[in-house]
Each structure stands twice: as structure tokens, then as C-alpha cells.
Amino acid sequence: MGGETVQAPRIWALSARQHGVVARWQLLALGLNARGIEHRLARGRLHRLWRGVYAVGRPDVSMHGRLMAAVLACGPNAVASHRSAGWLYGLGPMLPARVEVSVPTNCAPRKSGISVHRRVLYEDDVTTHAGIPVTTPICTIIDLATCLGVDRLERVVNEADRLGLTDPEELRTAVESATRRPGAAVVGRLLDRHTFTLTDSQLERRFLPIARRAGLSRPKTGCMVNGFEVDFYWPELGLVIETDGLRYHRTPAQQARDRLRDQTHAAAGLATLRFTHAQVAFDRDHVEETLAAVARRLERRMQR
């Protein structure tokens, strides 16, 4: 065991970079032989987590260490993916009980406690996060679309945007070039719902019948009110309706201007409602019910 002391600093340095775990093939590459590995296992300096993967120094590892160990157990080209990748990026509440790892199609590891996805992995699909090989945020979101419901997937997309991992425009471009990948179509449909934009004429054609069914008269459209151009205006009710397209893409400056617009109308005694273009197109019942309820309240106010 004379070479053991020579190898120890490099082993500790490697394990520190990998959340306290190392693989057998990495130890061999550092110059430790099979006998040296067995000696360290017997002395409690290494602790087997999976076959060929060890915790260094003590058997307990962090959640990051567990994920790193699972990736190492599946080979040098494996990466964390799906819900495990989502957890690593902060897009999921906890690391799944069965760690999810993706490997190239020519690999077929079977490991207890690990769900292995065999797939084609391109260079642009993989990266490193917190020192752990993992699918990119965009690839991860597309993968999550195959195993999450729409509501949870929407929260993932919003959180990825908030964390600066990707933005909906970049994500939309990516799914357009990944049409054959499972999950891409689901992500595309989700984004379309939120980036859906109608032209002025399309908006009027879809919105005006909803307003009629809600019991409202024909509004003024595209007129100036309190120094701002508004989408729809009922002067007899003191009601302004604004419709927002491209919800994901509202810049801070645009949001600040929207608030100023709404505050100016409120100071003048007007009520303002905002609907997205997607609500006008896809959630007409909600728009109609809201309009009818607000109109009734405003009419009662006008009659006092």
C-alpha cells in the first residue's frame, strides 16, 4: 500500500469536485489498482453506493452526491435527466426516489434505484450544473413534458424563465427544431397558449361577440382615453378593457407603462379589466362571465 499516500490527495480532490463520490474507473485512472481499492473498502475509506461507485471517507452523501453517484454508476457518458435534472436546476421540489439518468443508445446499464433512459444525446443536449453532468435546461423541460401534467409543466416553464435558465422565446425556437423529440409538441402547445397574439381585426372579431353575450353594448375601439389608446371603451359604464398578447414577453418597461395606464384610469374613476389574447381565443366563457359581473356592478353604481 505504499502508493496509497501518494494517491490520497488526488482522490480527495476528485471527490470534493464530485460531491464526495468517485467511480472505480476514475480511481484506476488516478493510478490506484484493484488491490488498493479493496483495501480502502475494507478500511472504511471507501463505501460502495452502486457497483463501481463509492463514497469517500464516510457512507452518507448529500442529495447532490447521490445524483452524482447515480450518473457515475451508468458510465462516463451518462447525464442526469428528466425529474432528476429538474430538481438539480431548482425546477422540482425534491430528488425523485428513483434517480433518472440518460445514456447513449448503445449503453444498457441496469442499476437498482436508477431509471435509465436510452436515447440519442447530442452535444447541445448536455452540460454540467453544480459539477454534475446533466441535460440542458431546454432539453430537461422537453423531457419533463413527457411525465408532468400541463399545470406542473407551466410552473416549470415559468420558473425556468424566472431563474434565467431559458426564456419562452428561446424555448419556442428550440421545440420547433425538435419536433420528433417526445415532449416537444406538448411544450409547443403550452407556449402557443401564452404567446398567442391576435391582430386588431381578429381581436375585435373574437371579442365583440363575447361582449354582446355578456349584455354589453358595442364599445368604442382604439380610441384615446386619459392620454392612452385603449382597446375597448364603454363611456356609459366607465369601463376600459385592455387585451395583452405575448404575455411572456412583457418587458419591465412595458409592465411599468401598463401600471401607469391603469392607475391613470383609476384616478379618473374608470374601471379597467385586462384579458390575454389567449383568454379571448380559448377561454371565452370566463371572459364573458367576468364582463357580465363587472358590467352589472358598474350599472348599479351608475344608478345611485
Segment 78-137, tens digit of pLDDT: 999 999 999 999 998 778 888 999 998 877 777 888 999 999 888 899 999 999 999 999
Q: What span, in angstroms and rounded, lies between the C-alpha atoms of 275 and 262?
A: 13
> Predicted confidence band at 73 (pLDDT cuts at 50, 70, 90)?
very high
H or E element: which one contains 38?
A: helix 34-42
Burial readout 101-119 (b: 16 or more C-beta within 10 A, e: otherwise): bbbeeeeeeebeebbbbeb
Best CATH choice for the domain 200-303 from the list 3.30.499.10, 3.50.50.60, 3.40.960.10, 3.40.50.1980: 3.40.960.10
Q: What pLDDT, on the 0 to 100 scale, is given for residue 48?
A: 95
Q: What pLDDT, on the 0 to 100 scale, is given for residue 9?
A: 87
Q: What span, in angstroms and rounded, lies between the C-alpha atoms of 148 and 97?
A: 16
Nearest in space to 278 (alpha carbons), one of 187, 159, 219, 198: 198
Q: In what order do the strands lie in the sheet with 114-119?
A: 114-119, 99-104, 79-80, 132-135, 126-129
**Per-domain residue ranges of the chain:** 1-61, 62-193, 200-303
DSSP state of 215: T
Segment 194-229, tens digit of pLDDT: 766 677 888 888 999 999 999 999 999 989 999 999
Q: What is the pLDDT averaged over residues 28-49?
A: 93
Q: What is the pLDDT averaged over residues 230-246?
A: 90
Question: Could you count the other beta carbons within 10 Å of the beta carbon of residue 276?
Answer: 20
Instruction: Please tell me the pTM assigned to this model.
Output: 0.70
Q: What span, in angstroms and rounded, lies between the C-alpha atoms of 101 and 61?
A: 18
- 98 or 66, which is more confident: 66
Q: Above pLDDT 70, what percent of the chain?
A: 94
Q: What is the pLDDT averaged over residues 267-279?
A: 91
Decide if 233 contacts 240 (C-beta within 8 A): yes
> Where does residue 284 rank: exposed (0-12), middle (13-18), buried (19+ CB within 10 A)?
middle
Decide if 82 contacts 37 (C-beta within 8 A): no
Which ranges in the chain belong to alpha helices (H)? 4-17, 24-29, 34-42, 63-73, 82-88, 137-144, 150-162, 168-176, 184-194, 200-213, 252-267, 277-282, 284-303
